[in-house]
């Protein structure tokens, strides 16, 4: 029997005693440990009734055990559903109702609050803590290490990752074994990862970047990762002499550049710095090259598509561009409304097709249909152009999305919460250039006549309802919102009016 993705990882294991992960608290986990322990975790999943196709939702801290849980899901044929640790209970409740998991794994401290939500959709709850301990780990420890992997083909689901919706509800992007396997294989080859590579892994593992780009590439290469629970610039610099590669969001590079200890000498052992998830400013790219002698390799992807483009390994890594379509990925620029392909150099909608592109949104056939063209191209919502040398440039977003420190924030979700307050007439949430997070979530609010609703009232109302990274960094009160002749709020006018509020040195 074959298990499409896990077999691919298994085939790349260099030797059982080779190290897969070294943690910041001094643990070392070998490939042999990974095989044995993921087998134990898989037995534990089956033991609570998880069957192939069942969803396993996990809101857990970053630990080696969390990676074992992901691998155990693959091996048991379950669909892994990782959730941002910042999500609040109302957010979790939505995901549980929508995905109907068989099992929910959460932090022991959160279990009393999470368990009733899980039970309401018929899910079992097990725990896994920051120290890698909990009821899931306890059960796993009692299991056999050999596990007969469930048969899973290329089109079977491996994971569901939720992306916030432009309007209304979050959508679960369904990713198949082949979506993940094909992308990991292509990236491993394109970026020349091999068994001697050591990746500094400081990203969270509940989104595409940290889980599928970083972890899957390491597994596909039989490489090693220095597995950091959290991004700490000083620590990352201290690890550079022992590593060969780093993957990060632009905020990582901005913060690393603030460290005096970032020097050419400190990066001498490194062969590759990769950035993605949000635009890397040309200014950051240039400062990095000047300081370290390395050109950051920028790539472009999204939850629904995995990675679409990458700057070249050999050849010019062009600042402000995301490089070329990856092997096997077709990319075109089309007129947003009609989908008519545009000529080279023209700005339009970026559309992609390939084995990397997801299988659709979970239980949303209409939404899925609306985001694909008839010939199978996925409409990314990103606006771009292809220059004369073939480099793809992202020039904006058709979708109303803010990216803060690599996390996506949809204004609609925050506006709904603010507008629900008694003293608020209306609001517009925008992204404003921010020196650290790239964009800062900013709320522009109109009070109802006579209302004295304050920024603190708004913060208080959102706390506990929305994940912290979605909270406005500033709230600005205005008499009215600018509108066009159609009555639509002109967010571009607002973005322009407030473009300097986070300029270096200012509050926020
Ligand atoms: C934390 N905070 C954020 C934030 N991260 N606010 C806005 N945006 C963010 N990204 C909040 C904290 O809750 C805290 O609030 C305050 O900001 C300062 O926290 P911090 O200590 O400075 O933040 P830190 O924990 O260091 O986190 C920053 C970060 C992190 C950049 C390291 O956000 C991060 O790891 N980002 C990576 C996201 C990622 O992996 N994206 C990939 C998505 S996949 P307070 O009020 O308590 O002070 C994808 C596809 C693709 O996009 O192409 O890859
Ligand atoms: P997510 O839905 O979290 O996967 O975020 C995907 C979005 O992040 C894409 O649609 C882009 O808007 C953005 N993105 C990812 N990588 C880059 C990049 N290198 N440059 C600009 N935007 C990017």
- Output the pLDDT for position 508: 57
Atom of ligand 2 nearest to the CA of 394: 21
Atom of ligand 1 nearest to the CA of 86: 13
Residue 406 C-alpha to ligand 2 middle, in angstroms?
8
Distance CA 217, CA 297 (A): 16
- Output the pLDDT for position 507: 52
Residue 294 C-alpha to ligand 1 middle, in angstroms?
25
Q: Where do we find the tokens 């220095």?
A: 226
User: Does the beta carbon of 179 lie inside 6 Å of ligand 1?
Assistant: no
- Output the pLDDT for position 167: 59
User: Does the beta carbon of 382 lie inside 6 Å of ligand 2?
Assistant: yes
- Output the pLDDT for position 1: 76
- Output the pLDDT for position 505: 61
As beta bridge partners, residue 246 has 200, 273
Distance CA 252, CA 381 (A): 25
User: Does the beta carbon of 206 lie inside 6 Å of ligand 1?
Assistant: no
**Which two tokens mark 62?**
């970053």
Atom of ligand 2 nearest to the CA of 381: 10
pLDDT, one tens digit for every residue, the chain (508 residues): 799 999 999 999 999 999 999 999 999 999 999 999 999 999 999 999 999 999 999 999 999 999 999 999 999 999 999 999 999 999 999 999 999 999 999 999 999 999 999 999 999 999 999 999 999 999 999 999 999 999 999 999 999 999 976 556 789 999 999 999 999 999 999 999 999 999 999 999 999 999 999 999 999 999 999 999 999 999 999 999 999 999 999 999 999 999 999 999 999 999 999 999 999 999 999 999 999 999 999 999 999 999 999 999 999 999 999 999 999 999 999 999 999 999 999 999 999 999 999 999 999 999 999 999 999 999 999 999 999 999 999 999 888 899 999 999 999 999 999 999 999 999 999 999 999 999 999 999 999 999 999 999 999 999 999 999 999 999 999 999 999 988 899 999 999 999 999 997 665 5
Nearest alpha carbon, ligand 1 atom 18: 469
Q: Please report which ligand is nearest the Cα atom of 438.
A: 1
Q: Please report which ligand is nearest the Cα atom of 86.
A: 1
Q: State pLDDT tens for residues 428-472.
A: 999 999 999 999 999 999 999 999 999 999 999 999 999 999 999
Atom of ligand 1 nearest to the CA of 213: 54
Atom of ligand 1 nearest to the CA of 405: 10
User: Does the beta carbon of 368 lie inside 6 Å of ligand 2?
Assistant: no
As beta bridge partners, residue 348 has 384
Pocket test of ligand 2: the residue of 394, 398, 431 to mutate, having most ligand atoms within 8 Å of its CB, is 394
**Which two tokens mark 302?**
């999204």
- Output the pLDDT for position 459: 97
Residue 435 C-alpha to ligand 1 middle, in angstroms?
13
- Output the pLDDT for position 399: 82
User: Does the beta carbon of 103 lie inside 6 Å of ligand 2?
Assistant: no
- Output the pLDDT for position 165: 61
Q: How many CA atoms lie within 13 A of 424 on its CB side?
A: 23
Q: Which helix (H) or strand (E) holds 208?
A: helix 208-208
The stretches of 110-228 forming alpha helices (DSSP H) are: 111-120, 135-141, 177-190, 208, 216-221
């Amino acid at each position: 029997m074959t298990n499409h993705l896990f077999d691919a990882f298994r085939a790349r294991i260099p030797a059982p005693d080779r190290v897969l992960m070294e943690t910041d608290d001094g643990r070392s986990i070998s490939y042999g440990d990974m095989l044995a322990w993921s087998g134990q975790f898989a037995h534990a999943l089956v033991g609570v009734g998880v069957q192939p196709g069942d969803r396993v939702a996990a809101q857990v801290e970053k630990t080696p055990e969390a990676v074992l849980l992901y691998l155990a899901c693959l091996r048991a044929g379950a669909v892994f559903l990782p959730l941002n640790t910042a999500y609040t209970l109302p957010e979790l409740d939505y995901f549980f109702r929508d995905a109907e998991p068989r099992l929910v794994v959460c932090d022991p401290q959160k279990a009393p609050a999470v368990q009733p939500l899980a039970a309401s959709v018929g899910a079992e709850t097990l725990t896994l803590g920051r120290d890698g301990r909990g009821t899931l780990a306890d059960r796993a420890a009692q299991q056999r290490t050999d596990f007969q992997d469930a048969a899973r083909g290329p089109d079977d689901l491996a994971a569901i990752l939720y992306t916030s919706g432009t309007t209304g509800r979050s959508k679960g992007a369904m990713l198949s074994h082949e979506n993940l396997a094909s992308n990991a294989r292509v990236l491993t080859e394109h970026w020349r990862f091999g068994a001697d590579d050591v990746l500094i892994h400081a990203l969270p593992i509940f989104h595409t970047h940290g889980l599928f780009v970083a972890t899957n590439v390491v597994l596909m290469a039989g490489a090693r990762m220095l597995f950091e629970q959290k991004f700490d610039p000083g620590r990352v610099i201290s690890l550079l002499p022992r590593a060969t590669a780093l993957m990060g969001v632009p905020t990582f590079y901005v913060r690393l550049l603030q460290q005096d200890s970032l020097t050419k000498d400190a990066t001498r052992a490194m062969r590759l710095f990769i950035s993605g998830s949000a635009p890397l400013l040309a200014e950051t790219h240039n400062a990095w090259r000047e300081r370290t002698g390395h050109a950051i390799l920028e790539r472009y992807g999204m939850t629904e598509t995995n990675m679409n483009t990458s700057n070249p390994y050999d050849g010019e890594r062009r600042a402000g561009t995301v490089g070329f379509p990856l092997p096997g990925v077709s990319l075109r620029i089309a007129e947003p409304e009609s989908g008519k392909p545009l000529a080279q150099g023209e700005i339009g909608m970026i559309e992609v097709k390939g084995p990397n592109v997801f299988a659709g949104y979970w239980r949303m056939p209409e939404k899925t249909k609306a985001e694909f063209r008839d010939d199978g191209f996925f409409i990314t919502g990103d606006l771009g152009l292809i220059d004369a040398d073939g480099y793809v440039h992202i020039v904006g977003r058709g979708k109303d999305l803010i990216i803060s420190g690599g996390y996506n924030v949809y204004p609609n979700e925050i506006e709904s919460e603010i507008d629900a307050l008694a003293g608020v007439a209306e609001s517009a949430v925008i992204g404003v250039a921010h020196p650290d997070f790239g964009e800062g979530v900013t709320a522009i609010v109109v009070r109802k006549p006579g209302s004295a609703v304050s920024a603190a009232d708004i913060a208080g109302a959102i706390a506990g309802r929305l994940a912290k990274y979605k909270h406005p960094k500033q709230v600005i009160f205005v008499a009215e919102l600018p509108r066009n002749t159609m009555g639509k709020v002109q967010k571009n006018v607002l973005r322009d009016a407030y473009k300097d509020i986070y300029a270096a040195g200012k509050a926020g």
